[in-house]
Structure 1
C-alpha cells in the first residue's frame, strides 16, 4: 500500500489521477500544505468501517433482500425514575 500526498489544487486539476492513486492506497489532499482530506477506494473504506453499510445503502437495496437488524439492548443507566419537585 502506498500513500500519496497531493495539493487540493492538483486534485482539482487531476481528479482522475487522484482516483487512480487511491486504488493503490490512501491519497492525502492538502490545503496550504496541511493535510485536510483523505481519498480512499471504496474497498479500503469498507475495510475501515468494518463492512458496515450505511442507512442509505440499506434503504436503496432490492425489496426482496432481507435486512438483519438487531438493535443493541439498552442498560438500566439509560432510564431513571422521574423526579417531581
Structure 2
C-alpha cells in the first residue's frame, strides 16, 4: 500500500496515477487517510462493474467526428 500526503499528491498527480496502476494509493491530510486513488480496472474488479457503452462513449480521448456539410439528398 502506497501512502502520499495531500501535499505530495498535489505536487505530482502524475506520479500518484502511476503508483495507482499497481496498487491503491492512500492520500492523507494531517496524517489521516482521506482519499484512495486506484486504477479503473481495480475499481471495476472491486465493485463488480463491467465497462458499458456509456463508459466507452464518455472517453475523453475519443476522436470527434464532423457531420457532413451538405445534405445527402442534394446530389
Aligned mates of 1:23, 1:7 — CA distance in 2 = 18
Corresponding residue SS for 1:16: helix
Distance in 1 of aligned mates of 2:40 and 2:51: 12
Corresponding residue for 2:27? 29
SS at match of 2:48: coil
TM score, norm. by length of structure 2: 0.66
Q: Which has the larger radius of gyration?
A: 1
3-state SS of 1:45 partner: helix
- Where do 5+ consecutive residues of structure 1 fail to align? 62-85
State the shift of 1:53 in Å: 5.5
Q: TM-score, normalised by structure 1?
A: 0.59
RMSD of the TM alignment (CA)? 2.2
Runs of 4+ in 1 over 3 A off after TM superposition: none
Greater helix share, structure number: 2
The aligned length equals: 58
> Where does structure 2 lack aligned partners over 5 or more consecutive residues?
59-75
**1:52 offset after TM fit, Å?**
4.5
- Secondary structure in structure 1 of the residue aligned to 2:49: coil
CA–CA separation in structure 2 for the residues paired with 1:32 and 1:24: 25
